């Protein structure tokens, strides 16, 4: 599985998403949108706005959080094929 995570150091939801991936042993490539303006533009092209974290899982874009709900743990487990505890 190829996982990319678009993040920024100041983003609390980004840190939570990376912690989730780390806790489940999911390898990923982190793409810092602050350090790489082209990556920020890429997010806008695919999502229509500057919203992070964003994940690309095997080429499919996925936003792992919702404002007011936070990280979408059930959806992440499903997308990453992680069994429920």
Domain CATH number, residue 69: 3.40.30.10
CB atoms within 10 A of CB 26: 17
Q: Is residue 71 part of a domain?
A: yes
Determine, yes or no, domain membership for 52: yes
pLDDT at 65: 86
Q: Is the pLDDT of residue 85 over 80?
A: no
- pLDDT digits over 55-73, tens only? 999 999 999 888 888 889 9
Q: Report pLDDT for 61.
A: 95
Q: For residue 59, how many other CB atoms are within 10 A of its CB?
A: 7
Q: How confident is the model at residue 1 (pLDDT cuts 50, 70, 90)?
A: very high
The structural domain count of the chain equals 1
85 located within any domain: no
Q: Residue holding tokens 């983003």?
A: 11
Q: Answer whether residue 84 is part of any domain.
A: no
pLDDT single digits (tens) 10-40:
999 999 999 999 999 999 999 999 999 999 9
**Domain ranges, residue 31:** 3-79
Compute the distance between CA of residue 4 and CA of residue 37 in angstroms, rounded to an integer. 16
């Amino acid at each position: 599985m190829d996982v990319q995570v678009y993040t920024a150091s100041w983003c609390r939801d980004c840190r939570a998403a990376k912690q989730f991936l780390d806790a489940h042993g999911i390898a990923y490539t982190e793409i810092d949108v602050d350090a790489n303006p082209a990556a920020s533009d890429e997010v806008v092209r695919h999502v229509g706005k500057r919203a992070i974290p964003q994940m690309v899982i095997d080429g499919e874009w996925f936003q792992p959080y919702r404002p007011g709900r936070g990280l979408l743990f059930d959806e992440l487990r499903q997308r990453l094929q992680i069994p429920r505890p």
